[in-house]
C-alpha cells in the first residue's frame, strides 16, 4: 500500500534480504544490535584517506547506476537491487545492510520522506522526487553519499528545491577550512536556505565517517554556535543538508526508520564525504 488516498507515502512490502558474497569484508556491527564504541578520532593519514576515497567512489558510482534506472514505474526495491549489485560486484559491502537492523543496501526517500526510507514495492511516479543514499565499506573504511533525483517532469517548486539543496551543500563545503569551528557549515547552509523560506532539518546531521559509519562527530546544517569543534586538516566527515518546502518537524514511521515531515511538505537532500585540506575541503565521494 505505497500511497494513501491523499497521495502520501505509506510503508510497503520489503523483499527478502539480499546476499553478500562470503569473501566481502563486513563492518563489525553486522549481525549485532549496535555498532561498537569507536573513539578513534576523526583525522586520517593520507593513506587512510585514499581508502575512504576508494569506498566513496564505489558509493558514488553505485548512485550513478541507480540514477540511470530512475523513471516512472520502477520500484524502490528494484533500485536497491541495482545499488546492492553494483557495490558487491566492486568488492565492497553496502554499509546500511544490517546497520542497527536496517534491512536494505540503500535508503530511498521520496517526496515528504526526509531520510532513511526503506526500499520496498513503492512504485515511482512522474513528478516524484527520490533521494538515493549509499554508503560503501571497503578495506576497513566507509564512504557515504547521497543525491536527489526527479522522476520525469516535476513541478517547478520541486525542481527549485532540488537545485537549491545541492547548492546549499556546495556552500556548506565552501565554508570548511582548518581553524574554523564546524558551526560555520550550518550557518552558511541555513543563511542560503532561508532566502527561499525553506525548512532546514535539525534532527539529522552530518557526521564523522571513515573507520566508523557514524563516528560521533556531529555536523549541524543550521546555525548552531554550541557545536564548536575546531576543523583540522585531515578530518573526514559528511555534510548532508535536508531542506523542506515547509516545516522541520519530523515523524518516524512504525518501521522505526522512515523519517517524514509532519506537515507532509516535500524535502530534498544531497550528501558528500570530504577530507579537510590545508586550504579547504576535498570531496571523497566522486565517480
Ligand atoms: N547514509 C545515511 C547517512 O547519511 C545513514 C543511513 S543509516 C540507515 O548518514 F540505517 F538508515 F541506512
Ligand atoms: Co551520512
Ligand atoms: Co548517507
Q: How far is CA 56 from CA 158, 162, 201, 232, 274, in A?
A: 28, 22, 24, 20, 9
Q: Cβ-count burial of 254 within 10 angstroms (0-12 exposed, 13-18 middle, 19+ buried)? A: exposed
Condensed to tens digits (0 to 9), the pLDDT of residues 214-230 reads 999 999 999 999 999 99
DSSP, residue by residue, 192-205? HHHTTT-EE--SS-
Encode pLDDT of 20-71 as tens digits.
999 999 999 999 999 997 668 999 999 999 999 999 999 999 999 999 999 9
pLDDT tens string 1-26: 589 999 999 999 999 999 999 999 99
Q: How far is the CA of 271 from the centre of ligand 3 (A)?
A: 6
**What sign does the CA torsion over 9, 14, 19, 25 have?**
positive
Q: Which residue has the CA at smallest separation from atom 4 of ligand 1?
A: 144
Residues 6+ apart with CB under 8 A from 74: 123, 124
pLDDT of residue 2: 83
Q: Domains along the chain?
A: 46-283 (3.90.230.10)
**How far, in Å, from the CA of 206 to the mean position of ligand 2?**
6
**Nearest CA owner, ligand 1 atom 8:** 96
Residue 166 has pLDDT above 60, yes or no: yes
Cell 530512475 sits on residue: 70
Mean pLDDT of the chain: 97
DSSP 8-state code for residue 177: -
**Arithmetic mean of pLDDT, 121-137:** 98
Please give the pLDDT value at position 30. Answer: 98
Which parts are annotated binding residues?
116, 133, 144, 207, 214, 240, 271
Ligand 1 centre and the CA of 239: distance in Å? 13
Who's near 96: CB < 8 A, 6+ residues apart? 102, 104, 105, 106, 107, 133, 134, 135
Distance CA 175, CA 56 (A): 21
With a Cβ cut-off of 6 Å, ligand 1 is lined by 96, 99-100, 102, 107, 116, 133, 135, 144, 207, 240, 257, 271
Strand partners, 75: 123
Amino acid at each position: 500500500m505505497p500511497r494513501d488516498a491523499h497521495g502520501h507515502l505509506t510503508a510497503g512490502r520489503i523483499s527478502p534480504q539480499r546476499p553478500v558474497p562470503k569473501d566481502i569484508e563486513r563492518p563489525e556491527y553486522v549481525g549485532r544490535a549496535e555498532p561498537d564504541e569507536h573513539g578513534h578520532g576523526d583525522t586520517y593519514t593520507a593513506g587512510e584517506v585514499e581508502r575512504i576515497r576508494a569506498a566513496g567512489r564505489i558509493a558514488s558510482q553505485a548512485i550513478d547506476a541507480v540514477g540511470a534506472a530512475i523513471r516512472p514505474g520502477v520500484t524502490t526495491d528494484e533500485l536497491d537491487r541495482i545499488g546492492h549489485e553494483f557495490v558487491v560486484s566492486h568488492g565492497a559491502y553496502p554499509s546500511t545492510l544490517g546497520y542497527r537492523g536496517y534491512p536494505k543496501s540503500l535508503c530511498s526517500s521520496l517526496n515528504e520522506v526526509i531520510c532513511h526510507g526503506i526500499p520496498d514495492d513503492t512504485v515511482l511516479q512522474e513528478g516524484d522526487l527520490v533521494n538515493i543514499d549509499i554508503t560503501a565499506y571497503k578495506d576497513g573504511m566507509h564512504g557515504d553519499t547521497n543525491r536527489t533525483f526527479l522522476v520525469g517532469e516535476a513541478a517547478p517548486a520541486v525542481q527549485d528545491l532540488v537545485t537549491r539543496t545541492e547548492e546549499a551543500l556546495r556552500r556548506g563545503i565552501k565554508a570548511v577550512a582548518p581553524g574554523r569551528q564546524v558551526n560555520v557549515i550550518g550557518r552558511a547552509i541555513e543563511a542560503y536556505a532561508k532566502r527561499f523560506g525553506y525548512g532546514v532539518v535539525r534532527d539529522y546531521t552530518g557526521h564523522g565517517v571513515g573507520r566508523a559509519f557514524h563516528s560521533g562527530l556531529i555536523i549541524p546544517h543550521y546555525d548552531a554556535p554550541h557545536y564548536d569543534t575546531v576543523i583540522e586538516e585531515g578530518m573526514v566527515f559528511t555534510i548532508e543538508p535536508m531542506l523542506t518546502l515547509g516545516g522541520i518537524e519530523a515523524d518516524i514511521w512504525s518501521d522505526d526508520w522512515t523519517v517524514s515531515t509532519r506537515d507532509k511538505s516535500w524535502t530534498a537532500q544531497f550528501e558528500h564525504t570530504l577530507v579537510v585540506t590545508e586550504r579547504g575541503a576535498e570531496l571523497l565521494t566522486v565517480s
